[in-house]
Amino acid sequence: METRRGIAVSPGVAIGPARIVESQGAQIARKFVMPDEAPREIARFDKALTASQQEIHELAEGLRTRLDQQVSVSDIFQVHLGILEDPKLRHQITNLITHRLFTAEFAVQEILRRYITSLQEAGDSYLLQRVRDFEDIGQRLLRNLQGETHQQLARAPGPVVIVAHDLTPSQTAGFDKEKVLGIATEAGGRTSHTAILARALGIPAVVGAAGLINSVVDGDMLIVDGSQGAVVITPDEATRQRYQARGRTFEVIEERTAAEFCNLPAVTLDGRAVIIEANIEFPNEVATVLNNGASGVGLYRTEFLYHTAENPPDEEAHFQAYMEAIRALKDHPMTIRILDLGADKFPSGFPERNPFLGCRSMRLLRLQPTVFRNQIRAILRASAMGKLRFMFPMIANLAELREARKVVTEVMEEFDAAGAVYDKKIQVGIMIEVPSAAMTADLLAEESDFFSIGTNDLVQYTLAVDRDNERVAHLYSPVDPAVLRLIQRTVQAGQKAGIRVSMCGEMAGDIMHTILLVGMGFESLSMAPSVIPDVKKLIRSIRYEGAKKIADHALSLKTAKEVEQYLSDETRKVVPELVQERQPEG
């Protein structure tokens, strides 16, 4: 028996024989055609393009039917469709065929490779997760060009546990839950579309399990613990029985918790209210947000507007995206994060030797004033239609904040001069995700309307750990004492200044950290919609005064492991039925 650790992305327990799925997409050799053959190649490409678009239409519609109209999931494939329907993509590919005389296959591979390289160099972890979407699109086009039939894993015999280096969104979306019991991959992260789709389909999944394929052969009995991030290879009978019992318990608890708590307020037993909001990436996710009981959107990422654009979207594109979300939210509030992109996504950008520490986010927008002003103008216009506020990401010091706010003031003055309608009292906040910002939170609080702590980057920058690198994953901990001290300092600065302090990183949605965060004084938490019922249940089961004592003790501990164990023990005392599904075996 052997256990491989990875990232837990879709909860539950799956037990079954392994089926190894080979990576798709062999390299296409560079080949040329004669000039008089170019029109034929373009016609072949157009036929493949049409066939690919039709396949995606059918896939998205099938998801809507299977998932009871959860449109936010099928929207993944609407993004794919948008890429394929973009005239720029067709122009780029046919241009290579016409002027370079490449075969259609090589032209497709070359253009998609350029998109993928741009995403990989951007230095943004969210955009890095989108690489698989472009790989998926390229593979689909090549398959249709070559007349191949897509491998239907959903029709595989047996129930099986899928093991792969990585999976495309199309592969995952095609899975039948009755035949694909679980998923385990060597690559991927919490925000990859494989993870999103696995959660939506209710298939337990673990990603980022390094070295998994070399430890498994087809037919090996596997256990996938999607709550704890473990893959157990050839388990003994006792281990298998334990996991079977846990899997049955998990299913019962999840159904009962979602039904009972999603529409209740998050209020402690002694009356402390916590606002629970949700993080979204696309406007159409709002329906899922409200269905899971969120009070609004605490983090609206706007980078999706750049997924396929060669040029930055204009003011109107931003405005329409915001209005789509506002209309769906009705009277619920929404917090928009200003663009958080690397330089390589802009036409006038430049290479970054170290994208994570280079010209990204607000530093880049300083050099792209038109892009920044367009987004601010769109937000102000939309603020007249709904409850909006916005925040600057990656602020490192007070000078950066002042410079950004100066631009906002200038745009407001332009609106006033033109008699344009907008919310003159719109709140402008910042994300605390750089250690220097946390250390100077008292200064930043004097000129901010609110704080939102982005723990994903704060942990990464504080501990010098790439959160998506499985080789150093054991060093990544949001409860490391260094991180907790920075969070505490930020909360205290916000409280002293009388501004709201929220958290929108993954830490906010982990019930192992809920008591700690409530005890530290957070007034608002924003998380993935699916975890809202569990977090609400826990908050409604504790007392604020008791949570403060637990937080104080946690902050006195010396190592991340000590903090993790202590919080696990305290959480188990309150909601043992939830915690037992998240405890590692052995």
**Residue positions annotated with a catalytic role:** 193, 504
Angle at 78 between CA 317 and CA 287, to 5 degrees: 80
CA-CA distance, 274 to 500, in Å (whole number)?
A: 11
Helix, strand, or coil (residue 312): coil
Angle between helices 38-66 and 104-121 (to 10 degrees): 60
CA-CA distance, 358 to 342, in Å (whole number)?
A: 8
How many CB atoms lie under 10 A from the CB of residue 113?
14
Helix, strand, or coil (residue 502): strand
| Contact criterion met (CB below 8 Å) for 183 and 10 | yes
| Contact criterion met (CB below 8 Å) for 362 and 402 | no
From the list 265, 392, 369, the residue with the least C-alpha distance to 312 is 369
| Contact criterion met (CB below 8 Å) for 285 and 342 | no
CA-CA distance, 133 to 545, in Å (whole number)?
A: 47
Q: Which residue carries 């719109």 as its tokens?
A: 426
Strand order of the β-sheet with 13-21 is 2-5, 230-233, 221-225, 13-21, 160-164, 180-185, 205-207, 7-10
Q: Which residue carries 């678009």 as its tokens?
A: 53
From the list 127, 245, 106, the residue with the least C-alpha distance to 191 is 127
Backbone angles phi, psi at 5, to 5 degrees: -100, 140
CA-CA distance, 125 to 134, in Å (whole number)?
A: 15
> Residue 195: which region, alpha, beta or left (left: phi > 0; alpha: psi -120 to 50)?
alpha
What's the token pair of residue 115? 């998109």
> Residue 277: which region, alpha, beta or left (left: phi > 0; alpha: psi -120 to 50)?
beta
| Contact criterion met (CB below 8 Å) for 210 and 470 | yes
Alpha-carbon radius of gyration of the chain: 24
Work out the widest C-alpha separation in the chain, in whole angstroms. Answer: 80
What's the token pair of residue 193? 């579309």
CA-CA distance, 257 to 350, in Å (whole number)?
A: 49
Q: Which residue carries 């694909």 as its tokens?
A: 180
Q: Which stretch of DSSP H or E encloses residue 558?
A: none
| Contact criterion met (CB below 8 Å) for 334 and 325 | yes
* Residues in CB range of 191: below 8 A, 6 or more apart: 125, 126, 129, 281
Residue type, 542: I
